Chain A
Amino acid sequence: MTPRRMTVYLVVGLLFSMLVSAIGNAQETSVPVKAVQLTGLKGFKDNTKGTLSVENGNLHFVHGKENSEVSATSIQDVVTGADSRESVGKTVGIMGMAAPYGGGRVLSLFRTKIDTLTVQYRDPDGGLHGVIFTMSAGTADAIKKQLVAQGAHTTATGEPTAVPSPSNTSTNKEQKQ
């Protein structure tokens, strides 16, 4: 092997290792996204609003001063999905129902697309837990990718996971890919 070729190999190797470490560092922390914990997270009531992030191999959910962590390696399955919710708030929606001639129902037509993130993990005793988060559309996939990169398992491999009815508002995103 000539010295020149060896130098080229060394430089390529160095560049590759720098690239890998840069990706690794980028995966350690993520930008927190606003999310709603629908159900399942210990210590939080259902429908708690907070921020969700992936840091140092853990899935973090923070609401006020309370926070909860789930180790990525304990996650057995992480699945993203798509859903929708009313654009108007609950209070306005309920008040709208009182509108004459069912006029308030028009409000129900205005809906915002959201992502769902479903996580199944095991506690130290082996007990299975499930947590469902919702967040703004297009953000769940990034969190899922970060979790998988940090050791979480997933059964959704991009294969279609069909949902029987076309009227479903809660279809799996994986099936669309």
Chain B
Amino acid sequence: MKHFPSPGIWLSVFALLFAAGPLLARKNQSAKIKAAAIQVEMIQSDEIKLPAEFQVALYENLIHQLEKQGFLHVYRDGDRNAGSVADLVVLHSTVRGFKAGSEKARQVTTVSGATSIAVHCQFTRPDGTSLLERDVNGKVRFFGGNLRATYDFAKKAANVVHENFSSLTSE
């Protein structure tokens, strides 16, 4: 005859599992970096020559996506009001790769003509102390114009912020 553990043991195992979930979640939350606001610097592309419209679209979409998340106040590059904010995070973005595709090629062939942008994102304090660094890509493979790659990048970068930073006001 097989020996099954007693219901008490099962109960305690389930209780442990249920308790571990929130505890792990809290651990993740505590690993998040505290921030009151974020200042987005203009996208830099010293090494890679990037068309002006891509540079501006990356910047504007990034700000728009961060504002959409709503948990951090977003300041623009050069905004003097950001100077007085404690626990400010500054986002520096540098373009590391750019492949300009073709909307026509995408629509006609559906396999070629993808546009992709690789951006190195560095989050620092205003004094330059580095907090986090990530490489984020933006791509458009099928539908939409080339600038849609900048929207893809902005969404991913905003997710990085959401995963790694927590608002001071939310606690």
Contacts and interface: CB of A to CB of B under 8 A. Distances in A.
Given A84-B104, A108-B107, A169 B80 contact: no
A127 B57 contact: no
A169 B78 CA distance: 31
B60 A130 contact: yes
A129 B78 CA distance: 10
Interface in A128-166: 128-132, 156, 161-165
Given A127-B75, A169-B103, A132 B108 contact: no
A16 to B, nearest CB: 36
A170 B57 CA distance: 13
Nearest to B42: A128
Contact of B57 (A39, A105, A108): A39
A156 B59 CA distance: 19
Contacts of B76: 123, 127-129
B79 A126 contact: yes
A39 B49 contact: no
8 contacts: A84-B103, A120-B56, A123-B76, A127-B76, A132-B60, A170-B54, A170-B100, A172-B51
A109 B104 contact: yes
A105 B53 contact: no
A66 interface: no
Contact of A38 (B52, B108, B147): B147
Given A83-B53, A120-B42, A130-B57, 15 more contacts: A39-B64, A77-B52, A84-B104, A123-B79, A125-B80, A126-B78, A126-B80, A127-B76, A128-B76, A132-B53, A132-B60, A167-B101, A168-B101, A169-B100, A169-B103
Nearest to B81: A125
B51 A164 contact: no
Contact of B53 (A81, A126, A165): A81
Given A109-B108, A127-B78, A167-B113, A40 B49 contact: no
A130 B49 contact: no
A34 interface: no
A118 B100 contact: no
A171 interface: yes
A53 to B, nearest CB: 20
Among A81, A132, A156: residue with most chain B CB under 10 A: A132
Contacts of A125: 79-81
Contacts of A113: none
Contact of B78 (A83, A109, A122): A122
Contacts of B108: 105, 108-109
B77 interface: yes
A111 interface: yes
Contact of A169 (B77, B98, B102): B102
A116 interface: yes
A161 B77 contact: no
Contacts of A161: 49, 51
A127 B54 contact: no
Given A126-B79, A127-B75, A164 B56 contact: no
B132 interface: no
B100 A163 contact: yes
Nearest to B97: A164
